[in-house]
Amino acid sequence: MAKIFQVTARAGMTRVVEPIARGLLRAGVSPNAVTVTGTVGVLVGALGFGARGQLVAGALIVTVFALTDLLDGTMARMSGGSTRFGAFLDSSMDRVADSAVFGAVAYWLATQHQYSGVAAALVCLAAGGLVSYVKARAEGLGMTCNVGIAERTERLLIVGVGGVLTGVGLDRALEVALWLLAAVSIFTVGQRMAHVYRQAQRVGTE
C-alpha cells in the first residue's frame, strides 16, 4: 500500500514538474544549475532559518527547494539523459543538503536542551547516508537497489512536517518525527541490504 501511494504521489508530481522543466530548458537553464540552486536554497532554509528556531519558515523553504531534486532529473531526461558528471553532482549536493538539514535540526534541539531529539537527528543523518550509500555501492557492483520505504524526498518531508508542527506549538512533534524517520531509515537500509543479498545469491548460483 505504501509503495502504491508513493508511486501515485510521484506520478502526480511529475505532471506538475514536467511543464516547469520544459520552460527552464527553453530558457537555457541547465539541470546542473537547478541542482546547485536547489542545494543553496536548502542551505538557506536549514542554516538561515531552521538553526535559529524559525522552524515553519525553514521547513517550507527546505521543502520547496528539495523538490528541485525531481525537477533536475526531469530536465536531464528531457534533454537526452543525465551526464555522468550531472549524476555525480546531484548525489554530492544531496549529501550536502541532508547534512545541513539534520545538522541544523540537531543544533537547534541542543539549544532547547532536547537531547533525545539531538540523538534522533544524528541517527537520521547517519542512517540517511547509509540509505544512499547502499544503493550507490550496489549499483557500482552491477546490481539494482530501487527499493525502500524512505527515500530522500520522503525523509525530508517527514522532518519538514515535524518542524512545521513544532513551529506552530506542538513542542515534541519534531522529536517524534525524527525518531519515526530514524526507524524507517534503518528499516530501509535493511530492505536494501536484503534486496542486494538476494541478487548476489542468485548470481552465485547461476
What is the mean pLDDT, run by run of 10 residues, along the chain of 206 residues? 48 75 91 94 95 94 87 87 85 93 96 95 93 91 87 85 92 94 94 93 69
What's the pLDDT score for residue 206? 52
Q: First vs last Cα of the chain: how many Å apart? A: 33
What's the pLDDT score for residue 1? 47
Right CATH number for 2-205 from 1.10.3720.10, 3.30.420.40, 1.20.120.1760, 1.25.40.340?
1.20.120.1760
Residues 6+ apart with CB under 8 A from 177: 158, 159, 161, 162, 163, 165
What ranges make up the beta strands (E) of the chain? none
What's the pLDDT score for residue 8? 47
Give catalytic residues, as residue numbers: 94
Is residue 127 within 8 A of residue 186, CB to CB? The reply is yes
What's the pLDDT score for residue 69? 82
What's the pLDDT score for residue 121? 96
The three grid cell numbers given for residue 55, joined into one nine-digit string: 522552524
Q: Where are the domains of the chain?
A: 2-205
pTM of the predicted structure, to 2 decimals: 0.85
68-78 vs 152-167: helix crossing angle, rounded to 10: 150
What's the pLDDT score for residue 11? 56
